[in-house]
Amino acid sequence: MNRKSFLPSCLHVLLLTAIFLIILTGCQGASDIMNDESQQENSTSNKDIQSIKDSSKEEKGNTFTATIIRVVDGDTVKIKMPNGNEETVRLLLIDTPETVHPSKPVQPFGPEASKFTKDLMPAGSKVEVEPGIGERDKYGRMLAYFYVDGEMVNKLLLEKGLARVAYVYAPNTKYLDELENIQKQAQKDQIGIWSIENYATSKGFDDSKSKEVSVEKTTGNSSCSNPKIKGNINSKGNKIYHIPSGQYYEITKPEEMFCTEQDAQDAGFRKSQS
């Protein structure tokens, strides 16, 4: 090959090489852009999924710290407010079987619900209280959600099958979806109130399923193996206790049993005058 033909050939090869490198670089850049877009899309998708999960759970609202005076039953608690006032509080969106109703017998799983709440919130303990909207029911009781160690007591009672979702009235429906999902699981597991067929209904607890329940509870620091003092709530809602020597002791059906008169008085009962 002579010198004149060699130079054009070299230039041709160099030109083709340069074009090839340009094309290769462009492809690599496009690939990098596509990878970046794909990663960004996946990241956005994951964030969206997490956002959906987070949005399904309501955030806890404003709370205040209160002191437990005593637990009345599974869903009703007496507290001391930060300002020193005393309030009776009904746990929102749930209903536990009765233990102290003036016109109803002690209902199955009522004592268990009451004991569970008492164990969670013993007298003198501190709890977080999240008031509902409007705050009170027709009986003048405050409506609220209670928290112990960050756990909502209303939810825990449902998880154990010791309560049903009930008294659902707007605008106090903030945690309704969560509570209903917890109830469905308890129903599926047939635990607590759901272990008795057709006992817990949308209208309440079927009293025909109720049985005589021996309630042997003590309050305060006293304890004994065989409490003798009977605590009864009459038709007017008055809490009266009867000692074995009392005139009406034998015919009295107890809602609570106490070891000492002091225990009964601490629980809000007064002595029978007969």
Given a cut of 60, is residue 116 above it in pLDDT?
yes
Where residue 40 falls among pLDDT bands split at 50, 70, 90?
very low
CB contact set of 35 (below 8 Å; sequence gap of 6+): none
Q: What is the pTM of this model?
A: 0.60
User: 141 near 90, Cβ under 8 Å?
Assistant: yes
What does the mean pLDDT of the chain come to? 81
- Tell me the backbone φ, ψ of residue 43, rounded to 5 degrees: -65, -45
**Once rounded to an integer, what is the mean pLDDT over residues 36-65?**
57
241 closest CA partner among 252, 212, 251, 102: 252
Active-site entry in 70, 136, 141, 178? 141
- pLDDT tens figures, 185-233: 999 999 999 999 999 999 899 877 764 433 333 333 345 667 899 988 8
Where residue 51 falls among pLDDT bands split at 50, 70, 90?
very low
**Once rounded to an integer, what is the mean pLDDT over residues 71-83?**
95
Any catalytic annotation for residue 270? no
Joined tokens for residue 96: 């536990």
Active-site entry in 58, 70, 86, 98? 98
Distance CA 163, CA 82 (A): 28
Strands (E), the chain: 64-73, 76-80, 86-91, 94-95, 126-136, 142-148, 151-152, 164-165, 200-201, 204-205, 229-233, 239-242, 256-258, 270-271
pLDDT given at position 58: 73
pLDDT given at position 99: 83
Any catalytic annotation for residue 141? yes
Helix or strand or coil: residue 129? strand
Active-site entry in 90, 112, 130, 256? 90
User: 191 near 160, Cβ under 8 Å?
Assistant: yes
